[in-house]
Amino acid sequence: MAAKLILSMNGAVVKEYPLNKERMTIGRKAHNDIVIDNLAVSGEHAAVVTIMHDSFLEDLDSTNGLEVNGTPTKKHFLQNNDVIEIGKHKLKYINDQITQTTSADFERTMVMRGPVSQAPQGAMKAGTMKIPASPNQPADGEVVERTGRFDAQATAVPVKAAASAPARPAQGDSGKIAVVQILTGPNAGKELELVKNLTTLGKPGLQVAVITRRPQGFFITHVEGAKFPLVNGQALANQAHQLSDHDVIELAGIKMEFYFKG
Amino acid sequence: MCRRPAGVIMKVQDALEMICQTHPGAVRSHNEDSVACEPACGLVVLADGMGGYNAGEVASGIAVSVVATEVSHSLQNDSPIRRDEETGDEYGVLLLRDNIQRANAAIYYAAQSQPQYAGMGTTIVAGLFYDNRLAVAHVGDSRLYRLRGESLETVTRDHSLLQEQIESGLISVEDARLSKNKNLVTRAVGIDAKVATEIHVHDVQVGDLYLFCSDGLNDMVEDEDIQSTLYAMQGNLPLAAEQLIQMANDNGGRDNVSVILVKVKGGFSAPGGWLSRMLDWFRK
């Protein structure tokens, strides 16, 4: 299912254009693939170059320029739901490949045969986005050799991926920021916000523990050093230990408290 | 800090610590990745197969076993630093090239002769450590990273459409993460009768940490998180490998994920190499 552009004016849809060519031009003159007959639109206003599943928008030195999502632009890597504005006309870019196919199918590695890989390189070395001669829509069966097969077996793979795909590790407790505050030693009182996925306590080569941020919460793990860190007076085992609000960690004689802020 | 080995020359298996781990990920039922470590000769091999049903596993399995077995067998009787008289290449480099070619032929003919294997192929990344150097051979988008000091660098460049687009300036590295054209490799082992393997030789420093991985890792985990994990956990390689795989799965685990970690603990110049000859000379 190819990506498409939906042309609209004053909120009313005028026409849909599937991006089924490598290069589609947008302009006032009749030879364009997408013709917008309005004096604010240049003869050849813009082009959309599509390589496999990705599309790139390029301004062809138009008089009045382009905006994408309200920002003037010369060149833009289009993302699903982007809105291109040319004068009073809007073109919405729809590319919902991931929801169209099962992600297990989509993520499969595919091999492109030799001539395909040569062509874009040669064509792009010119430094412009002008027509990479050969890469094409996957519909063009010869061009891409899909080595995976996706029938009964493949669809049996849980489609859970779609839901978990954009998942970035959560903030732990409903968006609260986790903090470690040092309680003893020369740095007593200092706070360390756990904003990274992995926070190192101690010094590599000597005594190290890490706190990792995971979808389920925050975990402390002993990495190296003679002594295992203590959590609420208990030495850690070899596994990661999930931290709770107001746990007291002791590492190399320094006490610190883990808690959620805000 | 002493980068070069001083006086004592270790054998390669004593100079390196290696860890190999592979996981099917959070979504797929099959693991199409294969990995192997041959500590005795300083060799690691990782492959990410593709093809219907179990053909991906077959392809990556053939590639890893051919390269691991043949290279380590050949090195029992020969030195990786010997120069080939015809080509002038080092034997270590030749071994990698020839055996990836051999694996390519094995996969290609299996695919030709058995319909259920038609079109199967695999990526490969293989590293051979010898004489304080690392010869890296790769085909496709399986990668080698190097942590040196605090900085993480990509040693290999993917043979993929996306990498070509990055190099030609069509797309920025930042935008590349948004691309829907991931997983399009431009080279693979076993797809054609011959394969073009990219091989480079790099100098190795004591303290370096090398990460060989399949795209199931670097597609799911940001380089920044890979860096902080390797840096913080370099003293505990099994934990580091586990952590990397866990992060890939926490972020969705949409693909099989394999990691091989190699830590350089000492120098390992080859017997007969210039350094050991010089040290021998001093001892006289």
Question: In B, which residues are within 8 Å of A104 by CB distance?
Answer: 27-28, 254
* Size of the A and B interface in Cβ pairs below 8 Å: 167
* pTM recorded for the entire structure: 0.76
Question: In B, which residues are within 8 Å of A237 by CB distance?
Answer: none
How many C-beta neighbours within 10 Å does residue A227 have? Answer: 14
* Residues B33-64: tens digit of each pLDDT: 999 999 999 999 999 999 877 899 999 999 99
Residue A59 in tokens: 């301004």
Q: What is the ipTM of this complex?
A: 0.82
Q: How far apart are CA A250 and CA B236, in angstroms?
A: 20
Residue A259, classed as helix, strand or coil, is strand
Q: State the smallest CA–CA distance between residue A260 and chain B in angstroms.
A: 21
pLDDT the model gives residue B281: 66
| CA distances in angstroms from B27 to A83, A158, B168, B249, listed in the order given | 33, 6, 34, 9
Residue B28 has its nearest CB partner, among A52, A97, A104, at A104
**Strand order across the beta sheet in which A46-51 lies:** A34-35, A23-27, A46-51, A54-59, A75-77
Question: In A, which residues are within 8 Å of B254 by CB distance?
Answer: 103-104, 107, 161, 165
How many C-beta neighbours within 10 Å does residue B152 have? Answer: 19
pLDDT the model gives residue B202: 97
Q: How far apart are CA A21 and CA B253, in angstroms?
A: 33
Residue B267 in tokens: 């120098």
Handedness of CA A247, A249, A255, A260 (dihedral sign): negative
- Given CB atoms, is B254 within the 8 Å cutoff of chain A? yes
- Given CB atoms, is B119 within the 8 Å cutoff of chain A? yes
Element spanning A89, H or E: strand A89-94
- Given CB atoms, is A239 within the 8 Å cutoff of chain B? no
Nearest chain B residue to A197 by CA distance is B225
Nearest 5 degrees, angle CA B241-CA B246-CA B250? 155
Question: In B, which residues are within 8 Å of A98 by CB distance?
Answer: 180
Residue B184 has its nearest CB partner, among A112, A125, A160, at A112
Q: Decide: B136 and B125 in contact? Cβ < 8 Å.
A: yes
Question: In A, which residues are within 8 Å of B164 by CB distance?
Answer: 117, 120-121, 124
Q: State the smallest CA–CA distance between residue B252 and chain A in angstroms.
A: 5
Q: Decide: A98 and A53 in contact? Cβ < 8 Å.
A: no
- Given CB atoms, is A195 within the 8 Å cutoff of chain B? no
Selected for mutation to probe chain B from A110, A112, A147 (highest B CB count within 10 Å) is A147
* Residues B103-138: tens digit of each pLDDT: 999 999 999 999 999 989 999 999 999 999 999 999
- Given CB atoms, is A91 within the 8 Å cutoff of chain B? no
Residue A153, classed as helix, strand or coil, is helix
Q: How do the pLDDT tens digits run along chain A, 262 residues long?
A: 678 999 999 889 999 999 999 899 999 999 999 999 999 999 999 999 998 888 999 999 999 999 999 999 999 999 999 999 998 999 999 987 654 344 444 456 777 765 433 333 332 322 223 223 333 333 333 333 334 333 333 333 333 333 333 344 444 445 678 999 999 988 889 999 999 999 998 877 778 999 999 999 999 999 998 889 999 999 988 889 999 999 999 998 889 999 998 7
Question: Read out DSSP for A172-238?
Answer: SSTTPEEEEEE-SSTTTT-EEE--SSEEEEEETTTEEEEEEEETTEEEEEEEESSSPPEETTEEP-S
Question: In B, which residues are within 8 Å of A209 by CB distance?
Answer: none
Residue B255 has its nearest CB partner, among A107, A168, A212, at A107
Element spanning A162, H or E: helix A160-164
| CA distances in angstroms from A173 to A177, A194, B45, B278, listed in the order given | 8, 12, 41, 61
Can you name the residues that pair with A259 across neighbouring β-strands?
A179
Residue A105, classed as helix, strand or coil, is helix
User: Would you call A108 and B239 a contact, using CB atoms and an 8 Å cutoff?
Assistant: no
List of residues 6+ apart from B2 with CB closer than 8 A:
B206
Residue A204 has its nearest CB partner, among B161, B231, B255, at B231
pLDDT the model gives residue A227: 85
Q: State the smallest CA–CA distance between residue B243 and chain A in angstroms.
A: 9
- Given CB atoms, is A147 within the 8 Å cutoff of chain B? yes
Nearest chain B residue to A76 by CA distance is B171
pLDDT the model gives residue A1: 60
Q: Decide: B184 and A145 in contact? Cβ < 8 Å.
A: no
Question: In A, which residues are within 8 Å of B252 by CB distance?
Answer: 161, 164-165, 167
Which amino acid is present at A131?
Answer: I
Question: In B, which residues are within 8 Å of A152 by CB distance?
Answer: none
Q: Could you write out the three-class secondary structure of chain B?
A: CCCCCCCCCCCHHHHEEEEEEEECCCCCCCCCEEEEEEHHHCEEEEEEEECCCCHHHHHHHHHHHHHHHHHHHHHCCCCCCCECCCCCCEHHHHHHHHHHHHHHHHHHHHHHHCHHHCCCEECEEEEEEECCEEEEEEECCCEEEEEECCEEEECCCCCEHHHHHHHCCCCCHHHHCCCCCCCEECCCECCCCCCCCEEEEEECCCCCEEEEECHHHHCCCCHHHHHHHHHHHCCCHHHHHHHHHHHHHHCCCCCCEEEEEEEECCCCCCCCCHHHHHHHHHHC
Nearest chain A residue to B178 by CA distance is A79
Q: Decide: A145 and A111 in contact? Cβ < 8 Å.
A: yes
Q: How do the pLDDT tens digits run along chain B, 284 residues long?
A: 334 444 456 788 899 999 999 999 999 888 999 999 999 999 999 999 998 778 999 999 999 999 999 999 999 888 898 888 888 889 999 999 999 999 999 999 999 999 999 989 999 999 999 999 999 999 999 999 999 999 999 999 999 999 988 888 888 888 888 888 777 899 999 999 999 999 999 999 999 999 999 999 999 999 999 999 999 999 999 999 999 999 999 999 989 999 999 999 999 887 666 666 666 666 65
Q: Decide: A232 and A248 in contact? Cβ < 8 Å.
A: yes
Instruction: Pick the closest to residue A148 from B185, B165, B245 (CA basis).
Output: B185
Question: In A, which residues are within 8 Å of B120 by CB distance?
Answer: 147
Which amino acid is present at A33?
Answer: D
Nearest chain A residue to B121 by CA distance is A147
Q: How far apart are CA A219 and CA A204, in angstroms?
A: 19
Q: Cα B244 vs. chain centroid, distance in angstroms?
A: 16
Residue A147 has its nearest CB partner, among B50, B169, B186, at B50
**Residue reference for tokens 């293989």:** B126
Q: How many residues does chain A have?
A: 262
Residue A255, classed as helix, strand or coil, is strand
Q: State the smallest CA–CA distance between residue B225 and chain A in angstroms.
A: 7
pLDDT the model gives residue A108: 67
- Given CB atoms, is A1 within the 8 Å cutoff of chain B? no
pLDDT the model gives residue B3: 42
